[in-house]
Amino acid sequence: MQRRQFVRSLIGAGLLASGAFSERRLGQVSGGKLPRLKVFADAAHPNDHRYIVTEKGEPFFYLGDTAWELFHRLNREEAETYLRDRAQKGFTVIQAVVLAELDGLNTPNAYGHKPLHNNDPTQPNEAYFEFVDWVVDKANALGLFIGMLPTWGDKVNKKWGVGPEIFTPENAKVYGKFLGRRYRGKGVIWILGGDRPIETERHLQIWRAMAEGLREGDDGEHLITFHPVGGRSSSEWLHDEAWLDFNMLQSGHHARHIANCAMVERDYNRRPVKPCMDGEPRYEDHPINWNPQNGWFTDYDARQAAYWALLAGAHGHTYGCHAIWQFYDPTKHKPVSHARTPWWQALQLPGASQMQFAKALMLSRPMLVRVPDQTLLASDAGAGAEHVRAARAVDGSYAFVYIPVPKPVRVRLDKLAGQKIRAWWYDPRTGETTLIGEFQRQSEREFTPTGSGETDWVLVLDDADKDFPPPNSINAR
């Protein structure tokens, strides 16, 4: 039976539910040598410079995990446990820092090695970098890119934290060139910055010099972005820098329902066009505004941040867990900002597993034609926790509507193509799909999700003639 006949037979039965995932269906990059990544460039395409693709032009979905202290705190066995878990959960990028935040210069790694001799960026310690090499190779073998921060930002602009400031424009270029040469040919994305603002011309000169060194060392092979301080975006300082391939923002941890979609929207509308994403949203199991009395961010907060950003135009998204970024081990470390869960237990918090369902949804329809479009909503988009976000294909072949709380939403179906519309409910908690039905296209239609409280849903609308598979099936084009 052809797929269209099969799906329509299910319509007659009333419901279709599907939640089966595999690494292949999730679009996980196969192990070994990873493809070179580039910004999608096609001047004739409406989404020119909006997305990341492989050298073959295939969409690359950046699903990041925050592992800032990976090189600094874990040994090989622990690192492999972590990396295998994240690969199995469908992540594609692991964000980690070479000169780490938590006294990364003067507190040795798990093998007793510091990264630099005499805290001099021009004198790297080979023993330390051999472990970094091992982690990069292990990650790549598992199909994971390393989003490598050469340093945490306090080594350029201390502001707060441990520091010290060790960089000048001159030694930043030398250090960048060293890293570029060492990791040329590896699956790496460069992430400059590290949670600090650019406040002076000297700060800007240092980051420019480091980027120049990276470019010289790897011959321009790897993408470069910049991780900013909370509530800001790289675009505020660096949007016009030729070396900045895509913008990264940090929506941060100060409140629930932070409108990261508005931050993404601002970057999306900047010119020249560059891909953008939220590289540090609210961490799962992090105290709200750093105070446990306010409660803790949950998997719901992680999902909300992801879908808001993606449907506002982000090319990808980064998840974070409070215990994971610091690799909190209560037998070895004092908790940073009230961390309460050992990292190996935090691996199984629900938000991390649920990110694969966001990735699966985005890749289940042609990704490179997706654009944000709030005009799809005939009803009010709402504010705060109730804010509804919508996106569609530029050719009208499909639409996604994220509904963070179960309230009715009216959608303008005349924004879509085709005479018949096929509608689905997609559960972002489980990846399960329920077929609503197939009906004649009309100007508007109301859809009412089930549940109560913090029960979020994604409404998927397809041109029935396209005969797309259920939304948890990978069909990236």
- The confidence score (pLDDT) of residue 453 equals 87
459, 403 contact by CB (below 8 A): yes
Query: Quick one: 402 and 288 in the same domain?
Result: no
Query: Quick one: 388 and 336 in the same domain?
Result: no
Query: Quick one: 19 and 144 in the same domain?
Result: no
Amino acid identity of residue 374, one-letter, is Q
- pLDDT tens digits, one per residue of 317-340: 999 999 999 999 999 999 999 999
- Mean confidence (pLDDT) of the chain: 94
Angle at 159 between CA 153 and CA 160, to 5 degrees: 90
Domain housing 434: 3-24+368-466
- pLDDT tens digits, one per residue of 162-194: 999 999 999 999 999 999 999 999 999 999 999
- Is residue 312 in a domain? yes
Could you tell me which of 426, 366, 356, 358 has the C-alpha nearest to residue 392?
Answer: 366
Query: Quick one: 350 and 419 in the same domain?
Result: no
Query: Quick one: 174 and 233 in the same domain?
Result: yes
- pLDDT tens digits, one per residue of 22-73: 333 344 455 568 999 999 999 999 999 999 999 999 999 999 999 999 999 9
303, 256 contact by CB (below 8 A): no
- pLDDT tens digits, one per residue of 257-290: 999 999 999 999 999 999 999 999 999 999 999 9
Query: Quick one: 298 and 386 in the same domain?
Result: no
- The confidence score (pLDDT) of residue 474 equals 52
Query: Quick one: 264 and 330 in the same domain?
Result: yes
- For the segment 292-306, the average pLDDT, to the nearest whole number, is 98
- The confidence score (pLDDT) of residue 364 equals 96
- Is residue 341 in a domain? yes
- Is residue 414 in a domain? yes
Percent of the chain exceeding pLDDT 70 equals 92
CATH of the domain at 407: 2.60.40
User: Is the pLDDT score of 196 beyond 50?
Assistant: yes
- The confidence score (pLDDT) of residue 250 equals 99
- For the segment 79-83, the average pLDDT, to the nearest whole number, is 99
**CA Rg value for the chain:** 22
- pLDDT tens digits, one per residue of 410-420: 999 999 999 99
158, 166 contact by CB (below 8 A): no
Q: At what angle do helices 126-141 and 76-88 cross, to 10 degrees?
A: 30
Query: Quick one: 261 and 410 in the same domain?
Result: no
Asked which of 327, 343, 363 is the last residue of a domain, the reply is 363
Query: Quick one: 299 and 405 in the same domain?
Result: no
Asked which of 334, 363, 392 is the last residue of a domain, the reply is 363
Query: Quick one: 200 and 147 in the same domain?
Result: yes
Distance from CA of residue 188 to its chain's centroid? Answer: 15
> Which pTM was predicted?
0.93
CA gap 259, 263 in Å, rounded: 7
Q: Which of helix, strand or coil describes residue 319?
A: strand
- Backbone angle region of 450, left / alpha / beta, with phi > 0 → left and psi within -120 to 50 → alpha: beta
Query: Quick one: 17 and 43 in the same domain?
Result: no
CATH of the domain at 96: 3.20.20.80
Asked which of 315, 339, 363 is the last residue of a domain, the reply is 363
- Is residue 475 in a domain? no
What number of other Cβ atoms are within 10 A of residue 32's Cβ? Answer: 10
- Is residue 31 in a domain? no
Could you tell me which of 282, 338, 335 has the C-alpha nearest to residue 306?
Answer: 282
- Is residue 32 in a domain? no
- pLDDT tens digits, one per residue of 10-22: 434 333 444 444 3
Could you tell me which of 309, 305, 291, 300 has the C-alpha nearest to residue 349?
Answer: 300
- The confidence score (pLDDT) of residue 144 equals 99
- pLDDT tens digits, one per residue of 228-260: 999 999 999 999 999 999 999 999 999 999 999
Strand partners, 457: 403
Query: Strand 145-151 to strand 389-393: parallel, antiparallel, or no bridges (unpaired)?
Result: unpaired
- The confidence score (pLDDT) of residue 33 equals 83
Q: For residue 386, what pLDDT band results from cuts at 50, 70 and 90?
A: very high
Angle at 403 between CA 425 and CA 25, to 5 degrees: 45
Query: Strand 63-66 to strand 316-319: parallel, antiparallel, or no bridges (unpaired)?
Result: parallel
Query: Quick one: 15 and 67 in the same domain?
Result: no
Count: domains in the chain: 2
Angle at 345 between CA 344 and CA 349, to 5 degrees: 120
Percent of the chain exceeding pLDDT 90 equals 91
User: Is the pLDDT score of 125 beyond 90?
Assistant: yes
Burial 337-372 (b: 16+ CB within 10 A, else e): eebebebbebbebebbbbbbbbbbbbbbbbbbbbeb
- Is residue 285 in a domain? yes
- Is residue 476 in a domain? no
- The confidence score (pLDDT) of residue 21 equals 40
